[in-house]
Structure 1
Amino acid sequence: MTVSMLVERGQVISLISATAETFDAEDVGGEAIAECLGVKPPVSWPPEHNDPATRDWMRGLLADHPDEPGYVGWYMIAQNRLVGVCGFKGPPNIWGEVEIGYSVVEAEHRKGYGVEAAGLLMARAFRDPRVSLVTAETMPARIASQKVLARCGFTHVGGYFDPEQGQVMRFEVGRPG
């Protein structure tokens, strides 16, 4: 089955959009998803926060928004190798907000992939005139994630307490200009 995938290219990484087919391959493992994407397999798979329940949730987003596949999951590719995932938690809401997330396999940490992926997602979002604000959430203990967001121009604007996750920090960046 051939499915058209969207691509966003950066200086070091490229992003390839997820499809139902890629989620199915990912359920098999790192080798299968790499083969589906036509890249080298990851050092390890999956990255943190990318479990079967997350993929099922993403499949639901794809089904609910078939005309907006760019607002779901993306795969991070560096040096023709799968290094992580990133994406949106759906298309813009009625206030023009989208939320992003990202996760890099541990062996590929501290190489700038998260920063570039977040930047590519932001640029993609702001090309859509409906988007006025990009948000992201992380936990207080996730210092590296906070640094990624700061390097991308996000501002910490508060947070909330989640009974399952504990304290959650919220970050935002508005449309430039």
Structure 2
Amino acid sequence: MASGKKGILTEFQEFISRGNVMDLAVGVIIGGAFTAIVNSLVTNVISPLISFITGGSTEVPGMAVSLGGNTIDFGAFLGAVINFLITAAAVFAIVKSLNALNEMKDKAAHKVGLVKDEEKEEPPAPRLCPFCRQEIPEDATRCPYCTSKLDGYKNDQDTRHLC
């Protein structure tokens, strides 16, 4: 019974040790921290600007409906949509700037000579039969199309002389 638990613990340890699980954990932690930054941006910068522009409140008046004691607050939903759009725009701006930074870094590395361009090897031109001009395998000694003898062709029967 103890060996079964040890096997499960070992499997769990291997699962946790995988890179993609660790990457996911780091992503969730960074996402939480980024959410705090975006919420602060909305609460401390954008909402006061909207309040100043609209004359006092960030809420849209008349956006809540009361139905049988329950309130449907469309204003809160609209605020959540705006918060999402701000978050998406911030993430887009950050990713775009990081991509531009990486691109500039790569260009600088190529310019200075730290990174060499990979030389792409061209595939060899296909071998053609000199008689019928059909494409043939590189190791062929006879053309499969016109049966011509090619360089490297050997046949013991060709060297025998028939009487």
> How does the TM-score come out when normalised to structure 1?
0.18
Between structures 1 and 2, the one with greater helix share: 2
Q: Which has the larger radius of gyration?
A: 2
Greater relative contact order (Cα < 8 A, sep 6+): 1
Between structures 1 and 2, the one with greater strand share: 1
